[in-house]
């Protein structure tokens, strides 16, 4: 009879271990995959091709690395010109490229002046 009580406990433990392994794998994949994530920000300064912006909304999921409150990024490949402090932008960044306040933004557009 003791053996019969151990089977449900064993299956419960196997399920918990599998769920934990799946969650850990999803976390590691999401953080390193570098998927594009949307954000909204207000430009603080523009110095040459480098933009410093205050992040107002970060579309990162629960498992993704979040943007810092203030980011810096290179806008030389964006084709967007005439940006100035106070402009609102919407863009996409690669989650695996956050290094301090610097992040690789793969595209953005000016929302308003």
pLDDT tens digits, one per residue of 12-69: 888 888 887 776 666 555 544 457 889 999 999 999 999 999 999 988 877 677 889 9
Q: Identify which of 112, 113, 105, 111 has the alpha carbon closest to the alpha carbon of residue 51.
A: 105
User: Rounded to two decimals, what is the model's pTM?
Assistant: 0.67
Region 70-96: what's the mean pLDDT? 90
**What pLDDT sits at residue 8?**
82
**What pLDDT sits at residue 35?**
73
Region 73-86: what's the mean pLDDT? 88
**What pLDDT sits at residue 44?**
97
| Phi/psi at 36 (5° precision) | -75, 130
Which 3 state secondary structure label does DSSP give 37? strand
């Amino acid at each position: 009879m003791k053996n019969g009580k151990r089977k449900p406990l064993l299956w419960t433990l196997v399920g918990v271990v599998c769920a934990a392994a799946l969650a850990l794998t999803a976390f590691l994949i999401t953080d390193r995959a570098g998927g594009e994530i949307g954000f909204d920000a207000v430009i603080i300064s523009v110095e040459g091709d480098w933009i410093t912006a205050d992040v107002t909304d970060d579309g990162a999921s629960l498992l993704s690395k979040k943007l810092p409150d203030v980011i810096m990024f290179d806008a030389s490949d964006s084709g967007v010109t005439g940006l100035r402090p106070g402009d609102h932008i919407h863009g996409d960044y690669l989650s695996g490229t956050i290094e301090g306040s610097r992040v690789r933004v793969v595209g953005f557009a000016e929302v308003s002046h």
